[in-house]
Every structure is written in C-alpha cells, then in structure tokens.
Structure 1
Amino acid sequence: MTRVFGEVAALYDEVRPGYPDELLPALTAYHGGVPAPVADIGAGTGKCTELLLKLGAPVTAVEPDPRMAAVLAHKFPQVEVANSAFEQWTPPQDGFGLLACATAWHWMDEQTRERRARTALLPRGTLAILHNSRGYAVPRHADDISAVLQAIDPTPSVDDRAEDWAREGLESSGLFSDVEVHGWHSFPVLRKDRYLQLLQTFSPFRRHSTQDQRRAVTELSAAIDGFGGVVEMDIHTILVLARAV
C-alpha cells in the first residue's frame, strides 16, 4: 500500500496540505537547539522535507516509491534522497540529530520501527512523529462525508486513532524518554473539485476498485453540492516528540 501514492505523485504534491511553521519552535525548544543532521523517513514528495529545510541543517529524505522520490528530488536538489523503504535503509554510522516521520509512521513495521529509529539517531537525538488528521469544521460536513466513505470502506483509518497513538509504542520500547505531544489546528475551506482531488490521494480511496472510487466521487460530489459547493476542513497537526536514550 505504501506504493499506491506514486500513482498520483504529482497530484499528491499539489493538493496534500503541508505542516505548520509553528512546529519548528516546538521542535528546537525540545531538542535544545537546531538538530543536525536531519532525516525525513517516508518522505513522500517532501511535504515535511520542505519544513525541515528551514532548520538550516543537512537533510536526508528516505522514500520507497521512486515516483514520489523523483518529485522530491526535483523540488529539493539540495536534499540527499535515498530511494528505499525504512526497513531496508542503512543509516550512516555517524547518526542523526533528528529523525522525522510525517504521516507515515503507521506504514512502518510495527515490530521494528522504534528500534530502527533509535539505531539511526545519535544519543539524546530527537524522534519527531507527526501527521495531519483530517477533520471537518462543520458537523454536517463530517456526518455526510463519513456516511459516504464508511459505506464503501468501514475500516478505521489513522484519523480515527487517539491523537497521540504513537506515544504508547515509544514509551513501552524502552528506547526513548521524555515523550511530549503538541498540536495545531488549521481550517482551510476547499472547493468541491479541490476536495475530490485531495480524496484521491488517500489510501482508503486508492485501495478500492475503480467502480467504488467512482461511486465515492459521485456521492461525495452530490453531498458537497448540498454544502454550497465547499467543504470546511479542520486539519489537526499532531507532533509527538521523543528523546533517544
């Protein structure tokens, strides 16, 4: 499933929201300064990479899908891009001051991801796990959209988990300490066409048949027309920080 995003790499890069600049002061305050060097794992087309570059430290991006990695490399030629799954990637022996994973930690192997992250980090290095949780500012929008999507796919998504769901694995691993959780909200208003484009970049949509995808688009289009042609979003960015012991 990690490779389905490459099928729409350009669209993903165009419509997926990035991450707020407010994240950086929280990260540097936690770390005690600017961490260096920096790794971005499961980097996709570089939504988080773009933010991490503002730290001014060298950045390595690790992305398994060559189509996503190609978009990232084109946008950010100063970034070292490793076209590899996290599980097959060999980090440099010198280690990283910061390992970031944006909206991809749930794709990493649950049995090994904490250990692999710790191996890549310097002692007392920072692990930053972040994601954008997709919500809706208007209850009717949330109810009607959820009804359409759940009729096609009732499987719970990462957005249905507790906001700090990554905390438990970090604390129980014995490899990290001082776990903190931060959050920010943004409220973009999307036109119908933009929302339907965004929908096409999410795995619960992409893993279904063409017939089910068409059904979702048709029914959501009708629902959004009933909202006046726009969807009022509530994007909750969650940042979980942990220190390598």
Structure 2
Amino acid sequence: MAQVFGEVAALYDDVRPGYPDAVRQAILDYGGPIGSIAELGAGTGKGTELLVAYGKPLVALEPDPRMAAVLRAKFPQVEVLETTFEQWTPPARKPDLIACALAWHWMDAATRNQRAFDALAPGGTLAVFGHKYGYAEPGEEQAIGDVLRAVDPTVVERAEHWVRDGVLASGLWSDVEERRFTTYVMFSKSRYLELMRTFSPFRRHTPDEQRRTLDGLDAAIDGFGGSVHLELRTSLVLARRG
C-alpha cells in the first residue's frame, strides 16, 4: 500500500494541499540551527517544500520510483533515495533533523521511533507533521461521511493524538510536544473528487467501489452548493534526541 500513490503521482502532487509556513518556523524555533536534514516518505515533496527553505543539505527517502521522479523534477537540489526508511543506512554524519510529512503511519510501527532516534545526531530533532482533513461546514462533513461509510463502513480514523502518544510511549525522546495549525481551503467539486482519488482508503477499494464513491460524492456536493470548504487541521509533533 505504501506505493499505491505512484499510480496517481502527478495528480497527487497537483491536488494535495501543502503545509503552512508556520510549521517550518515552529520546527526551527524548537530545534534551533539545522545542519542537515533527512525526510522520510517524501512522496512528491509536499513536506519537502517547507524543508528546502532551510537551505541545508537534504536527503529524501521515497520508495516509489514514480513519486520519486516527480520529487526529483521539483527539487533537483535534493538527494532523493528510492528506499524505505527500514532499508536506509544513515550516513556516518547523522542529520540534525529527521522530518516526516503524512507518512509516519507507513513506517514500521514497532521500529520507527528507535530507527529515527538512532539515525539522529545527539540533540537532533524529530518532526512529524500531517493534515487531518476536516470540513468547515458540519453539513458538508455529514454528507460526505455518509457517502464514504455507505461504501465502506469499516473505515475508522486514527486517534487524534496518535503520533504524539506513540512517540511518548517509546520512552526514547525528550521534550515531546505537539502543535496545531488550522487553515481553510475551498475546493470545487471536480477538484475535491480528484483529491479523493489520491487517498489510500479510496485507492484500496475495488473499481466498482471507487465508482460508487465518486458518484455518491458528486451528488452530495451538488446538494450543498457544488464546492467543499475544507478545514485542514495540521498537527506537528516535535521530539528531541537527548
């Protein structure tokens, strides 16, 4: 499943929203000066867009060659490695920052904290951030949720603070904290349907289920005015290697 996004790499890069610059500044405020960076599960570079602004050496890990191709084209200054976090051998000079944007759940849950801790330089920072897709209008959230549950009633959301709780539970990190940011984005119906095609729960469905999902969303969005007002709830979990 971690490579399922490669099937829609260009669409993913076009339609997925990026991150507010406040996330970049919060990482800097927390960890101080940065010498080098490693990014896990970089995809097409939605998180990379923030990280390159530091102007420091950056290596990005992305196992899907189709996603990695988009990433390289966008950021020729970044060293892109087509590998998983679990297969990666960190350099002798360890990075000061390990960042992961909306991909922490793809890392092996039993080892991801220990691997990140071991890969960081002493005093280095772990920064895990990502969006939770909410809706500014309760009626939109209800209508869209009804469609998605009708197609797949087994889908459950992760606990609200699952990243923070997992980092804390590892017992490895010091100064663990979570920061939240909220931004609002208006999507036309057609663009929202394209966004839906890039989500992993949608992509793992059968073609018939995908068609029913898109048809149901098409009708639901028409029912509340033809556009979707997204509320992007961005979490940033920060931790330090002591």
Say whether 1:28 aligns with 2:2: no
Paired residues for 1:199-238 under 5 Å: 199-238=196-235
Match of 1:2 in 2: 2
Q: How far apart are 1:152 and its partner, in Å?
A: 1.5
Letter in 2 for 1:84: T
The aligned length equals: 242
Calculate the TM-score normalised by the size of structure 2: 0.97
User: Secondary structure of the equivalent of 1:93?
Assistant: coil
Retained in 2: the 8 A contact 1:34–1:55?
no
Residues 1:88 and 2:67 aligned together: no
Distance in 2, Cα, partners of 1:179 & 1:42: 21
State the Cα distance separating 1:79 from its structure 2 match.
0.1
SS at 1:232 equivalent: strand
Q: Percent identity?
A: 56
C-alpha RMSD of matched pairs (Å): 1.0
Task: Map 1:171-186 onto structure 2 (within 5 A).
Answer: 171-186=168-183
Distance 2:132 2:166 in 1: 19
Structure 1 residue matching 2:100: 3-state secondary structure: strand
Distance 2:98 2:229 in 1: 33
Secondary structure of 2:122's counterpart equals: strand
- Measured in 1, the distance between the counterparts of 2:208 and 2:155 equals 21
Gaps of 5+ in 2: none
CA–CA separation in structure 2 for the residues paired with 1:239 and 1:4: 25
For residue 244 of structure 1, report the CA deviation from its aligned partner: 1.0
Identify which range, 87-96 or 160-169, moves more after superposition. 160-169
- Residue 241 of structure 2 aligns to which amino acid in structure 1? A
Q: How does 1:1-245 map to 2 (within 5 A)?
A: 1-31=1-31, 33-157=32-156, 160-245=157-242
Whole-Å separation in 1 of the counterparts to 2:56 and 2:44: 19
Shift of 1:120: 1.2
Q: Is the 8 A contact 1:164 1:240 kept in 2?
A: no
Q: What's the TM-score once normalised by structure 1's chain length?
A: 0.96
1: CA distance, partners of 2:75 / 2:172: 32
Aligned-residue offset at 1:231: 0.6
